[in-house]
Amino acid sequence: MSFSIKTKNELARITPENVCCQLAELGAMIRMDGTIKISPGKGLSLQVVTESAPAARKVFKLLKELFQVPGEIIVQRKNRLKKNNVYVVNIPSQPEVKNILDKLGIMDANYNINPEIRKDLIDSECCQRTYLRGVFLGGGSVNNPEGTYHLEIITADQIHGLQISNLINNFDLNAKLVSRKKWWVVYIKGSEQIAGFLSLIGAHTAMLDFENVKVYKDMRNKVNRLVNCETANLTKTVDAALRQVECINSISRTIGLDKLSPGLQQIAKLRLEYPDTSLKELGEMCEPPVSKSGVNHRMRKIEKMAEDFKKRK
Ligand SMILES: [Zn+2]
């Protein structure tokens, strides 16, 4: 199950306590996923289409409790390519549908669609949160935190998109709006922002999952950085040792190692014998022992000599 669907299932199981919030969430879901049909003589009918069974049940339950309308949930298999079922909450033609749409601020008494969210639907903070939960349930998706951090809500209307992003940004988050073909996309980037939004709309389990994966991911990055760093250091050490061996060999070919001072001679012979030992360990093998920086100093002298010979040639 995708992270999006998991998150939506969690959100769909939350029932708002207050009637104000119930209206806000239902209004959001119907504005996002609803279709209104006019049949002459019979009035309006309403269909709300969703791929989430719990979301369909929620719409159905809210419609029933708030407006006592008879309806049904129809399960459809979209087509053979899409494996997800589609759930349609169907409220057949009846006079009450017009009243519902009016009360939720979606359509006025003259059958005009209101582009803006009805003000009293999102008056208080509790309703603003539940409205956002509704739009996320209706048209939202969120990437699995193991991938890139991205959450979006797709709506058909620019004004609605703008209102959604303003609502989100009023909670100190940073949502942006872009057009995508004939749609408007409100999106949020960044792990902290997304976790903040999930928590705002009540998806606490999803938020925890999100943060856990993030902690794990950060840790893994840190470990990778450490490993890369150690590998880099190791490569550097090996490169340095190879260079030293080369220099010592060239000195040995030109003037011979026995022409070196006893200190340099000792370190040169040890290096040839132990090409993959660290400078510190080479120092410990010396008689008397030499510090790492002492060994380093001697190695530099040897390298310098080898270079000078090379130049003279
Ligand atoms: Zn409320």
Low-confidence ranges of the chain (pLDDT < 50): none
CA 202 – ligand 1 centroid, Å = 14
How far the first Cα of the chain sits from its last, in Å, is 72
What does the pLDDT read at residue 80?
64
CA 126 – ligand 1 centroid, Å = 4
Which pairing describes strands 183-189 and 176-180: parallel, antiparallel, or unpaired? Answer: antiparallel
Paired with 175 in beta bridges are: none
Torsions phi, psi for 305 (to 5 deg): -60, -45
CA 111 – ligand 1 centroid, Å = 26
Which pairing describes strands 72-77 and 140-142: parallel, antiparallel, or unpaired? Answer: unpaired
What does the pLDDT read at residue 78?
64
CA 20 – ligand 1 centroid, Å = 4
Closest by alpha carbon to 78, among 48, 57, 51, 54?
Answer: 51
CA 119 – ligand 1 centroid, Å = 12
What does the pLDDT read at residue 82?
62
Alpha-carbon span 149 to 145, nearest angstrom: 6
Which domains, and CATH codes, for the chain? 3-202 (3.10.28.10), 221-312 (no CATH)
CA 71 – ligand 1 centroid, Å = 25
CA 121 – ligand 1 centroid, Å = 8
What does the pLDDT read at residue 313?
65
What does the pLDDT read at residue 81?
63
CA 133 – ligand 1 centroid, Å = 12
What does the pLDDT read at residue 227?
74
CA 221 – ligand 1 centroid, Å = 42
Contact 185, 176 (CB under 8 A): no
Alpha-carbon span 228 to 5, nearest angstrom: 37
